[in-house]
Amino acid sequence: MSQQQGAGSARFGQQDVTVDRRETVYQGFFRMDKLWLSHPRFDGGRMPQFTRELFLRGDATCVLPYDPQRDEVVLLEQFRAGVIGRDQSPWLLELVAGMNEVGETPEQVAQREGDEEAGLSFQTLEKICEYLVSPGGTDEMIHLFCGRVDASRAGGLHGIAAEHEDIRVHVVPVAEALAMVADGRINNAAAIIGLQWLQLNHQRLREAWA
């Protein structure tokens, strides 16, 4: 790294990428495109044209429901096909989450999914961050929030049958949820990031939201 180029500054931008050809190679519940592209190299040369397959999911919104009075979080248990074949159950403990539809703000998605997946309404939403899920192969961006809820109203089974959703709601003390992150029982990115953020902001939120 040169003295002039710091780690936090980007030398190249969108305008430096040349996409010579783009072809949709799969269209189902999700879409996959094949790209023929090139871009500059850090040594001043140019990368020869190469191909990449890009999994197009679009943006999604995730929310960690938190009750500051009871010091509990609400987690959702549901099946995930991506875990099939691994040495763990395909039923994961996750956050409220949903895909962003055209014209929706992340906050609107948060409220919609809170109602559909857990029967919850968020009294307050605080933005945690936005992050790229796996930018080497997908365009998905997650908009992550913490949402204030009354956890005494949470529980039961939820989900939209037509979308093959079957969701069980759990109310978990914050300390127990953090222990599940530590021992690997919770191992999906949004839940880990959200709970670790809550650990860092725990006292502030309890004071602000109580």
Confidence of residue 5 (pLDDT cuts 50, 70, 90): low
Predicted TM-score (pTM) of the model is 0.90
Q: Name the phi and psi angles at 43, rounded to 5.
A: -85, 5
Residue 146 tokens read as 């913490």
Q: Which residues are catalytic?
A: 163
Give percent of the chain with pLDDT exceeding 70: 96
On whether the CB atoms of residues 126 and 108 are closer than 8 A, the answer is: no
Residue 164's pLDDT is what?
Answer: 85
3-state secondary structure 112-144: HHHHHHHCCCCCEEEEEEEEECCCCCECCEEEE
On whether the CB atoms of residues 93 and 185 are closer than 8 A, the answer is: yes
State the chain's mean pLDDT as an integer: 93
Between 5 and 201, name the one with better pLDDT: 201
Instruction: Summarize the confidence of residues 189-202 as an average pLDDT.
Output: 98
Q: For residue 34, give the nearest of 26, 47, 22 by alpha carbon.
A: 22
